[in-house]
Amino acid sequence: MKALILESAKKSWSVKNVADPIPVVGNVLVRMKAAAFNHRDIWISKGMYPGIKYPIIPGSDGAGVVEAVGSGVSRGLLGQQVLINPSMNWGDGERFQGKNYEILGLPKNGTFAELVKVEPKYIHPIPMHLSFEQAAALPLAGLTAYRAAFSRAKMRSSDRVLITGIGGGVALFALQFALLEGCEVWVTSSSEEKIRKAISLGAAGGMNYKKENWAQDLKSKAGAFSVIIDGAGGKGFGSLIDLADLGGRIVVYGGTAGKYEKISPQKVFWKQLTLMGSTMGSEADFHGMMEFVRKKELVPVVDEVFPFDESVEAAEKMANGKQFGKVVVSMGLGS
């Protein structure tokens, strides 16, 4: 089969022929139709992720058709169109993941391959309103945003929500979830174009965080926020505390801008703020996310679909950070 291979952090990606996986006891083989990139794949390619092993087939997002089943698995799954939940071995509790938790695509081979071996409990029927490419865009970022917004922040229609770094997959799903829930939503970005695109999707407005006094200007326009969903951290996090309303909830799912700077604990306790971390999600979170997507007929925002043979070019686009939405590769194009 063809697969996108990362042999080391010092070598570029390459599409190669490798041996097909074998459907062992209690597993299924999914013939992939589409897969999607996440920032996790980029960090792995740069050697900036814990527990990296090489060579590795990356990829946490994917959708396809069940082609084979191992012994002990119902043959009724054969031919089903499915997407894969990449959040595996979460554990017994809902509050946090267990010691054996892992994400598909490292340490186990991921979705950028023509065939993927996975336990049947991690496959889910594709919602009827989605294509393979749209379904492939959903799992990791959709799950991360769902847990942050609903399981952690307990977001509801009365909330005014701020989402930072709009354009990335998780941020866009958080925007879509909040809008479909009936919230008033504002966004930040360093790109005026991305802010305009978010407004076209339904955001009330946005602010370029590269501008001086951006937080004060945003607060004067929008007011304070009861929910803030952040994937950046860095020196701008103190401004999010300023923007939070009394009793506000700030959920952090990433830290692309680095360590926090100049945070005032007085503002945190005086405002009665709740600061929460959130990583991926449990199986219950995934089921909740899928139900929300089906009920609301949410369609993931896809920036561009590449042929599988151009997976390296797709990865480069993702690494450059110019995308608005998910970067997807299709096994049905040019392969």
pLDDT of residue 333: 63
pLDDT of residue 335: 42
Residues contacting residue 146 through CB under 8 Å, at least 6 positions apart = 173, 177, 281, 285, 286, 288, 289, 292
Span 229-240, average pLDDT: 92
Q: What are the tens digits of pLDDT across the range 275-288?
A: 999 999 999 999 99
Span 261-277, average pLDDT: 94
Q: What are the tens digits of pLDDT across the range 159-205?
A: 999 999 999 999 999 999 999 999 999 999 999 999 999 999 999 99
How far out from the chain centre does Cα 91 lie? 20
Cis status, amide bond into 107, omega within 30 of 0 = yes
pLDDT of residue 50: 76
How far out from the chain centre does Cα 62 lie? 12
The token pair that represents 54 in the structure block: 């090489």
Nearest Cα to Cα of residue 141 among 330, 283, 328, 326: 326
Strand, coil or helix: what is 140? Answer: helix
Mean pLDDT computed over every residue of the chain? 94
How far apart, in whole angstroms, are the C-alpha atoms of residue 29 and residue 70? 8
Span 223-236, average pLDDT: 94
pLDDT of residue 9: 72
Q: What are the tens digits of pLDDT across the range 80-130?
A: 999 999 999 999 999 999 999 999 999 899 999 999 999 999 999 999 999
Span 230-237, average pLDDT: 90
Q: What are the tens digits of pLDDT across the range 300-330?
A: 999 999 999 999 999 999 988 889 999 999 9
Span 208-213, average pLDDT: 94
Angle at 91 between CA 80 and CA 21, to 5 degrees: 40
How far apart, in whole angstroms, are the C-alpha atoms of residue 131 and residue 194? 24
Q: Is the dihedral of CA 255, 328, 114, 299 positive or negative?
A: positive
pLDDT of residue 43: 85
Strand, coil or helix: what is 242? Answer: helix
pLDDT at 41 over 50: yes
Phi (first) and psi of residue 306, to 5 degrees: -105, 150
Q: Tell me the HSE value of 115 on the side-chain side, using a 13 A CA sphere.
A: 15
218 to 261, 295, 333: CA distances (angstroms): 20, 33, 43
The token pair that represents 228 in the structure block: 């803030």
pLDDT of residue 257: 77
- The amino acid occupying position 186 is W
